[in-house]
Amino acid sequence: MEIRPYEPPDEAGLWQRKRDFELGLGSGTGGEKKETKYEGKLDEQYREAWLEWVERCVGADERCVTVAVDETATEDPSAGPADAVAGYVFVLPESHRFIWDAAVLNELYLSPAYRGTGVADDLIDAAVAFARDQELPLERFVLDVDRENDRAKAFYERHGFEHWGEMVAREL
């Protein structure tokens, strides 16, 4: 498994993992209504806008998006380009540090087939290293975890994250 900064040829795989991430959020933590909302937003317009945002962030610092690429998938003639990207971690660029006065872990996703293999640990290690290099108002690395996602909460706790406030939301 290669852990490295995202590159444009990874686009199809990154987008597929982003879809998997979003659909997993919708289906696993909030019922049918949330799942329908998450499915509905993942149209072509959203895809283009999200990938443009990725490019802007990566343009600010290539370490904003780190991918885990399974080299064996690229050797499989039946595999498509999206199959090689096993997962990713997305840390907002330093220019966003005033959102929470900290480094922000936007997303981390790993395909289920690779969970429990240490790849997620490698991705979070890359993210923490990048966050430590940022000039921050507070020496903190923050993220949002759904309270119903016990697997994710346990993963982040194992990596030293602690409860720090709580995000609330409302419909607009």
pLDDT, tens digit (0-9, with 9 covering 90-100), for 11-38: 999 999 999 988 876 555 666 776 777 7
| 131 CB neighbour count, 10 Å cutoff | 22
pTM: 0.87
| Average pLDDT for 89-111 | 92
Higher pLDDT, 172 or 159: 159
Our CA angle for 11, 16, 1, nearest 5°, is: 75
pLDDT, position 14? 96
146 has a pLDDT exceeding 70: yes
Domains of the chain with bracketed CATH? 2-158 (3.40.630.30)
pLDDT digits (tens, 9 = 90+) for 43-91: 999 999 999 999 999 999 999 999 999 988 765 555 566 679 999 999 9
- Kindly report the average pLDDT of the chain as a whole number: 87
Whether the per-residue pLDDT at 2 is higher than 90: the answer is yes
Q: Indicate if the alpha-carbon torsion angle 23, 25, 18, 88 is positive or negative.
A: negative
**Range list of H helices, the chain:** 11-28, 31-41, 44-60, 71-75, 81-84, 119-132, 150-158
State whether the Cα torsion 11-29-100-138 is positive or negative.
negative
DSSP class of residue 172 equals: -
DSSP SS3 for 46: helix
Amino acid 77: pLDDT: 57
